Amino acid sequence: MTQLMRNRVVFILVAVGAFVLAFGLGQVAGNKKDGAPKDGGGPTAPYTVKLVGDTDLPAAGSGKQELRFEVLDPAGTVVTDYDTVHEKKLHLIVAEKADPRIYAHLHPAFSDGVWSVATDLVGGEFRLYADTRPTGADAQVLTADFTVDGDRRATRAMAVNDTATVDGYDVALRADGTAYTFTVTKGGAPVTLQPYLGAGGHLVGIRTESLDYLHAHAMAAKANTVGFHVEAGSSGLWVLHLDFQVDGTVHDATFVQRIDGAGMGGHDMDMGGMDMGDGEGHDHH
């Protein structure tokens, strides 16, 4: 074989090798693209909550007003197994979208994959937050919207407040950075806060502009004082609901605060992330 022929053979072999290599890489890249989850499907798809029945509930006082929903896993299958977190399988927060000061913390019953709870809500558009942990999964904060027929309750203008009075109890808030401390008195005298859902109190925050949700980290509860670590995902005007228990009864003190967020966007902080301060306790309705 002449040198010229050898060079031609080498050239052909190199060209064929380059083609095979390029084709193989193209196939790998194509396989990766074709195998990527689409529309949130596959293993990256989220858990969701699905309302069962009509999303328009009857007006309060006009008949049975029941909220029913299912939790679906990423494959769309109804979840039936849940871990207990802070004494409950699921914590349901309901807030009016236009004014999150209108609020309820409920613990629905569970049967055959369906959660259900009786409500007594006035007219308006509401968002539910299902705070739960399906067995084998991370903690979830799942949302859905629904409407209650009837006239919406007239509310006062939104204003920042550091004190609140509920059922004869006076609650004072002191905020120092991310440390939020609440002190409860009645008639000027300290009260004794009782354990509630595994902590000295329960604090939920809802951002008025975007309806972001947070469940603050309980830091401590001593006598009539309870502290929380409040770290919002986004800055803005937040409605804070402090649920506290005295003499076996739970009360809700409502505050409006401007909070500087941590720049995490619409981050949802759930009950599974709560820190238990001093082993004090936390439960509602």
For residue 255, give the CATH number of its domain. 2.60.40.1220
Q: Are residues 115 and 181 in the same domain?
A: no
pLDDT of 282 > 80? The answer is no
In this predicted structure, what is the pLDDT of residue 14? 39
Q: Are residues 131 and 173 in the same domain?
A: no
Q: What is the pTM of this model?
A: 0.77
Tokens of 229: 């670590």
Contact 212, 233 (CB under 8 A): yes
pLDDT of 127 > 60? The answer is yes
Which of residues 254 and 198 earns the better pLDDT score? 254
Q: How far is CA 149 from CA 97, 121, 134, 153, in A?
A: 14, 9, 32, 12
Q: Are residues 67 and 32 in the same domain?
A: no
pLDDT, average across residues 34-63: 70
pLDDT, average across residues 188-192: 96
Contact 230, 205 (CB under 8 A): yes
For residue 129, give the CATH number of its domain. 2.60.40.10
Any domain includes 280: no
Strand duo 124-132 + 90-96: pairing: antiparallel
Q: Name the domain boundary from 148, 182, 213.
A: 148
pLDDT digits (tens, 9 = 90+) for 154-169: 888 999 999 999 999 9
Q: Are residues 89 and 126 in the same domain?
A: yes
Q: Are residues 131 and 167 in the same domain?
A: no
